[in-house]
Amino acid sequence: MEELSLKYIIREPKTPSENTPLLILLHGYGSNEEDLFSFAGELPDELLIISARAPQMLGFGSYAWYSINFNDTQGKFSDIPEAISARETIAAFIKEVQEKYAIAPKNTFLLGFSQGTILSYSVALNYPEIIQKVIALSGHVNPDLLPENLETKDYSALDFFISHGSVDQVIPVTWANKAPEFFKQLNIKHCYQEYPVGHGVAPKNFFDLKKWIEDRLTKTSNI
- Residue 105 maps to a domain: yes
Compute the distance between CA of residue 90 and CA of residue 134 in angstroms, rounded to an integer. Answer: 14
Q: What is the mean pLDDT of residues 158-167?
A: 98
**pLDDT confidence tier of residue 1, bands split at 50, 70 and 90:** very low
CA distances from 25 to 77, 125, 166 (A): 24, 17, 23
Across the chain, mean pLDDT equals 93
Q: What is the pLDDT of residue 136?
A: 98
Which pLDDT tens digit goes with each residue over 63-104?
999 998 766 555 567 899 999 999 999 999 999 999 999 999
Strand locations in the chain (E): 8-11, 22-26, 48-52, 56-59, 62-64, 68-69, 77-78, 108-113, 133-137, 159-165, 189-195
Angle ∠(198,43,6) on CA atoms, nearest 5: 80
CB 123 within 8 A of CB 145: no
What's this model's pTM, rounded to 2 decimal places? 0.94
Please report, for the domain that includes residue 187, its CATH number. Answer: 3.40.50.1820
Compute the distance between CA of residue 54 and CA of residue 56 in angstroms, rounded to an integer. Answer: 6
Compute the distance between CA of residue 217 and CA of residue 59 in angstroms, rounded to an integer. Answer: 37
Domain that holds residue 21: 8-221
Decide if pLDDT at 145 tops 90: yes
Q: What is the pLDDT of residue 222?
A: 52
Count CB atoms within 10 A of the CB of residue 33: 20
Count CB atoms within 10 A of the CB of residue 126: 20
Decide if pLDDT at 120 tops 80: yes
Which residue would you say has higher pLDDT here, 42 or 223? Answer: 42
Q: What is the mean pLDDT of residues 139-155?
A: 94
- Residue 199 maps to a domain: yes
- Residue 149 maps to a domain: yes
The residues near 203 (Cβ < 8 Å, ≥ 6 apart) are: none
Compute the distance between CA of residue 211 and CA of residue 163 in angstroms, rounded to an integer. Answer: 14
- Residue 204 maps to a domain: yes
**pLDDT confidence tier of residue 133, bands split at 50, 70 and 90:** very high
- Residue 125 maps to a domain: yes
Q: What is the pLDDT of residue 16?
A: 75
Q: What is the pLDDT of residue 2?
A: 46
Q: What is the mean pLDDT of residues 24-51?
A: 96
- Residue 3 maps to a domain: no
**Number of separate domains in the chain:** 1
- Residue 205 maps to a domain: yes
- Residue 1 maps to a domain: no
CA distances from 27 to 65, 160, 165 (A): 9, 17, 17
Which pLDDT tens digit goes with each residue over 164-201?
999 999 999 999 999 999 999 999 999 999 999 999 99
